[in-house]
Chains A and B, each alone.
Chain A
Amino acid sequence: QVQLVESGGGVVQPGRSLRLSCAASGFTFNTYGIYWVRQAPGKGLEWVAVISYDGHNQYYADSVKGRFTISRDNSKNTLYLQMSSLRSEDTAVYYCAKGSGSYLTPFDHWGRGALVTVSS
C-alpha cells in the first residue's frame, strides 16, 4: 500500500532554516509528480511546491519562491523541502502528497504531515 511519511518538523526561530523529508513506499516513486501542501493552524490548504517525476522541473507558490527548494532522490524514494528565511506565517502542518500522474493531477495519497512552528 502507498505510504508517505514526513519527518523533520519542529520549532525554529524566524530567519532560520529547516529541511523536511518525505519517505515514500508502495509505488514506483520515479514515475509520479510529488507535492508539498501546507495548512496553517485552523486554516485551509495551500499548495507550496511540486517536482516532476524525474526531478527536472520544480514550481513554487509565490509565497515561498526564492526561500524554499523542493528536491527528490529517486534512488532513496525520498522527497525533500529545504526551507530557509523562515517566517512566522510559514507555521503550518506540511503534507507531502502523491500526484496520480506525472504532472498537474489530483493528489491520490497524502502523508500524515509534519508540524513546523516558526517562533522566537
Chain B
Amino acid sequence: EIVLTQSPDFQSVTPKEKVTITCRASQSIGSSLHWYQQKPDQSPKLLIKYASQSLSGVPSRFSGSGSGTDFTLTINGLEAEDAATYYCHQSSSLPITFGQGTRLEIK
C-alpha cells in the first residue's frame, strides 16, 4: 500500500499569505497525485490533478508541483474562503489512498 504523508497537519494563516502543503508518497507514483479541498459540511472538490494540472473554475492562486514521491500544493495570496481541509490522493495503484489531511485556519 502506498502511504501518503501530508505536512503540516494544521496551519493558522493570515489572508494574502503564501501557503505550502506537502505530500510525500512512500514509493514513486509518477505524477498520479491529486489535490482536493473540503470545506466544513461539504463534499471534497478536485483542485489539482496529476500533480500540476489546473482545472477550469479553480482560482489561479492554487497550483501544484512535484513528481515521484514529493508533491506540493501552493496557495498564492490566501483568501478567507480558502479555510478548509486539503487532501492529497494517489491513483497510481490499488489500494487508492489519501493523505491524512491538512486543515487551514484563517486568522
Contact = CB atoms under 8 A, between A and B. Distances in A.
Nearest to B47: A106
How many of chain A's residues touch chain B, expressed as a range? 20 to 34
B95 A44 contact: no
Interface of A: 35, 44-47, 50, 59, 61-62, 95, 100, 104-108, 110-113
Given A47-B96, A61-B95, A104-B94, A110 B89 contact: no
B7 interface: no
Contacts, number: 54
B91 interface: yes
Interface residues of B, number: 24
Given A44-B101, A100-B49, A112-B43, A107 B89 contact: yes
Contact of B98 (A45, A50, A104, A110): A45
